[in-house]
Amino acid sequence: MLKKTKEGIGLLRRNVPALLWFELLYKLLGVTLFFPLLYGIFDFCMFITGYRYLTLENVRFFFRNPLVYLGILLMVLLLLLYAFLDISAVIYILHCSWCRKRTTAILAMRFAVRNLKAAWKKGNRRIFRLVLLTIPIYNAGQIPELFSTYSVPNLFLLPASSREAIILGMLAVYLLLLLPFLRKMYVFHYFTLEAVGYDEAVKKGKALGEKHHFSDAVIFLGFQAVCFLLYICLLFAAIFFIILFNRVFSGFSHLNQLYFSVVKIAMTVFILIFTLLGVPVSVICSSFLYYTRKGIAEERTAGLAQVHKARNCRISEREKALRTKYRKAVFLSEMAVFFITVSLCCFYIYRAHRGELKRNIEFLDNMEVTAHRGASRYYPENTMIAFQGALEAGADWIELDIHESRDRQIFVMHDRNFKRTTGKNANAWELTYDEIRTLDAGSFFDDEYRGEKIPLLSEVIDFAKEADIRLNIELKPAVQEAELEELLVSLLHEKDFVSRCVVTSQQYEALEKIKSLDEEITTVYVMGFAYGNINRLQAADNFSIRYSSITDSLVRRGHNAGRQIYAWTVNGRDAINLMTEKQVDNIITDNVYLARQCISTRANSDTLNDYIQFLNREIRLLSYRFRMNS
């Protein structure tokens, strides 16, 4: 067996570039075209059935509509076609290596399409049942990665003993699927490489694997386990070194930034490679067993010419000459596809990072944390040092309050009067900003912060853009601040910050005015309690409600209408845990550290995800410090 393994690796080397290039192009095309198409079909199903948001409460009614099942059937069919082409191309590339011939990604795709055409013929369509079976088997190694990537719904936040039972249940399901898979492991190879129909392929495949099911299972599972353990080791090594480096060189921010960037890129590459090679690695293992079993049974393996003839995929001499003549054009076309798809992937990642690609599915959304008036528990509220503290604490948003000065400048302060935080008994609209700038906004909190200034909103926006953090801007307009809404909208457009903030207010008229000025600005209505159908308030995109007034039904109705629910001001551990159970979208708190700890404990399913979240916060913080020091 060891000798056969070495021989197989040596032959595989011949077409490794073609295999990797095909997988890279095919998976990039999948990310940029195929999977958005699946999302589009599902979103269309939601549109035609009148659902803007899915929750655990309304999903059962959603699935009662027959149109939903037609959409799901179409999605499954597209998924089967996508997987079929992938498996067919990989088998073809491996067979070319076995026949000691070189091939290309384009030829592999061409063969896969011809193979799909043969599978679509009457009598062969049952092979798609086999594809449906192989998808979870070939991608089983990625299941742990999915659990570490997404937050687990509260429905599944069970005691450890129950969680172990679920894991054992999943393992049992996998083993139940593995048994019929082992009986038909070689069917796909016979169908793809031999001139036989599906029934004949099943007959030959079962005969080839007979009496070898146990050893095939051990080799197949061992192969997948080794690949997954290698991925975990690489990921943990990256996390370990970056934490160690951070502690040793904590005083060198420039060096830290460079190292963090390198390791983050490395981790991204590890995840990409692991996802990219899920199917081909499994196909390589099953192909190796296929050729080994045929060798033991002294069964003749089809030659490449025979394979081409069976699928009407022969390459004429004229075509070979044309390919040689236009080799550069073909290469440039492949590179164009590569760069276009990579650019689209980067665009999707950018939009996802900005929160513009959130799926309207309740348990796939990450609960976000807003620092109330900055890190006001540890620093003087609504000051730059409080906002920097919020960034260091790991907040997703900063909540702040704004007013209009006598000279029409927007500055950040909670009260209309300066008395409480600065000691000066004057109203916001009575002083110019030059006068406001001289006030001490820090010593009321602690003498250590004496001389801290009241910042302009424009300064805070510049900070938020540098730090990559979003703002919750609350309006508290007095009668004397008649132009506050116009000034705010103008500033947000001037700073190109409309998509990175929400405008909130307890005065519904202020939100109506904001919407009349610009409908694209996201507005949030702040309420002490809610009664009745708040979804009729059309000027409010979302709602911010005192946490003690939030009920399960209120959250459910808001989500069903496509609105997010913010909970304010949530400072205690029990209160934060209660809000996570009610599945609010955003927690506004004075204690970001505690909120992060509670959400991480209750919403994430493994320690690895905690490390990655810590790493992402450290990278963002160091990136901001690096830009500030440059």
Please write the tens of the pLDDT for every residue from 519-539. 999 999 998 876 666 777 889
How far apart are the C-alpha atoms of 34 and 265, rounded to whole Å?
25
Residue 535: per-residue pLDDT: 73
For residues 190 and 310, is the Cβ–Cβ distance under 8 A?
no
Residue 362: per-residue pLDDT: 45
Residue 158: per-residue pLDDT: 42
- 54 three-state secondary structure: strand
Q: What is the mean pLDDT of residues 440-446?
A: 94
Residue 565: per-residue pLDDT: 92
Q: What is the mean pLDDT of residues 49-66?
A: 71
Instruction: Report the b/e string of 125-136 with b at 16+ CB within 10 A.
Output: eebbebbeebbe
Residue 353: per-residue pLDDT: 47
Instruction: Report the b/e string of 599-616 with b at 16+ CB within 10 A.
Output: beebbbbeebbebbbbbe
pTM score, whole prediction: 0.60
Residue 164: per-residue pLDDT: 61
Is 514 inside a domain boundary?
Answer: yes
Q: In the structure, what pLDDT confidence band is assigned to residue 364 with cuts at 50, 70 and 90?
A: very low
DSSP state of 525: E
Taking each helix axis as running N to C, give the angle between helix 457-467 and helix 384-393, from 0 to 180 degrees, rounded to the nearest 10.
20
Q: In the structure, what pLDDT confidence band is assigned to residue 154 with cuts at 50, 70 and 90?
A: very low
**Residue 128, CA distances (Å) to 194, 202, 542 in order:** 18, 13, 44
Q: In the structure, what pLDDT confidence band is assigned to residue 461 with cuts at 50, 70 and 90?
A: very high
For residues 358 and 347, is the Cβ–Cβ distance under 8 A?
no
Is 466 inside a domain boundary?
Answer: yes
Q: What does the block give as tokens for 376?
A: 């006001």
Per mean pLDDT, which range of 104-118, 332-346, 350-364, 566-580 is the poorest?
Answer: 350-364
* Per-chain mean pLDDT for the chain: 80
Q: What does the block give as tokens for 605?
A: 């399913």
Task: From 313, 406, 395, select the one nearest 96 (Cα to Cα).
Answer: 313
Is 555 inside a domain boundary?
Answer: yes
Percent of the chain at pLDDT exceeding 90: 35
Is 357 inside a domain boundary?
Answer: no
User: How many folded domains does the chain comprise?
Assistant: 1
Residue 361: per-residue pLDDT: 47
By the 10 Å C-beta count (0-12 exposed, 13-18 middle, 19+ buried), 58 is classed as middle
Q: In the structure, what pLDDT confidence band is assigned to residue 47 with cuts at 50, 70 and 90?
A: confident
Q: Could you tell me the residue range of the domain that residue 487 belongs to?
A: 368-590
For residues 471 and 492, is the Cβ–Cβ distance under 8 A?
no
When comparing pLDDT for 501 and 574, which is higher? 501
Percent of the chain at pLDDT exceeding 70: 74
User: Which secondary structure element, helix H or strand E, spans residue 609, and what is its range?
Assistant: helix 607-629
Please, which residues have CB within 8 angstroms of residue 513's CB and are 6 or more apart in sequence? 485
Per mean pLDDT, which range of 281-290, 360-369, 529-538 is the poorest?
Answer: 360-369
Please, which residues have CB within 8 angstroms of residue 3's CB and are 6 or more apart in sequence? none
When comparing pLDDT for 182 and 234, which is higher? 182
Is 91 inside a domain boundary?
Answer: no
Residue 443: per-residue pLDDT: 94
Residue 606: per-residue pLDDT: 44
Please, which residues have CB within 8 angstroms of residue 149's CB and are 6 or more apart in sequence? 609
For residues 92 and 112, is the Cβ–Cβ distance under 8 A?
yes
Q: What is the mean pLDDT of residues 602-630?
A: 54
Q: In the structure, what pLDDT confidence band is assigned to residue 150 with cuts at 50, 70 and 90?
A: very low
Reply yes or no on whether the pLDDT at 255 is more than 80.
no
- Other CB atoms within 10 A of residue 626 CB: 17
- Other CB atoms within 10 A of residue 590 CB: 18
For residues 514 and 485, is the Cβ–Cβ distance under 8 A?
yes
How far apart are the C-alpha atoms of 94 and 279, rounded to whole Å?
13
When comparing pLDDT for 417 and 307, which is higher? 417
Is 441 inside a domain boundary?
Answer: yes
Please, which residues have CB within 8 angstroms of residue 381's CB and are 6 or more apart in sequence? 373, 374, 414, 421, 445
Is 421 inside a domain boundary?
Answer: yes
Q: In the structure, what pLDDT confidence band is assigned to residue 615 with cuts at 50, 70 and 90?
A: low
CATH code, 418: 3.20.20.190
When comparing pLDDT for 156 and 348, which is higher? 348
Reply yes or no on whether the pLDDT at 143 is more than 60.
no
Reply yes or no on whether the pLDDT at 5 is more than 70.
no
Is 622 inside a domain boundary?
Answer: no
For residues 12 and 281, is the Cβ–Cβ distance under 8 A?
no
Q: What does the block give as tokens for 168?
A: 């054992």
Residue pLDDT, tens place only, 572-614: 988 998 898 888 999 999 999 888 888 766 544 444 445 555 5
